[in-house]
Amino acid sequence: MSLAVPTPHSFLTTGEQDVVLFATKAELTVAQAAQVLDLPEGAILELFSLGVLECRQEDAQHFLDRDHVYAYKQEQEEGLILMRELMRLSEEMGLYDEEFYND
């Protein structure tokens, strides 16, 4: 049996003592989630405010459930695939006329 020890995320100085914040293996920081989703960190914070992604806040740090981030990424990728397929079918059936939209 092994023991997983989380690695420190950042150090905060409170003036009297240093505080170490830990992100568990099952959590991502905002910066890590931004890398996974290929979005700016501000977009991740906007997804919090819209209720699309949930986070755990510890002081000024936000931590996201890793599995939820990857599930969101998969949903977005599947949606993009479906949208491309709809566009392809629309073009095949003549429902999408590029000349109409370029006027």
Q: From the centroid of its chain, how far is CA 90? A: 31
Average pLDDT over residues 17-41: 80
Average pLDDT over residues 62-76: 92
Average pLDDT over residues 49-69: 90
Which pLDDT belongs to residue 101?
Answer: 60
- List, in order, residues 6 or more apart from 44 with CB less than 8 Å away: 30, 33, 34, 37, 53, 64
Instruction: Indicate the domain borders of the chain.
Output: 8-93
CATH of domain 8-93: 1.10.1660
Which pLDDT belongs to residue 102?
Answer: 63
Share of the chain above pLDDT 90, in %: 46
pTM: 0.61
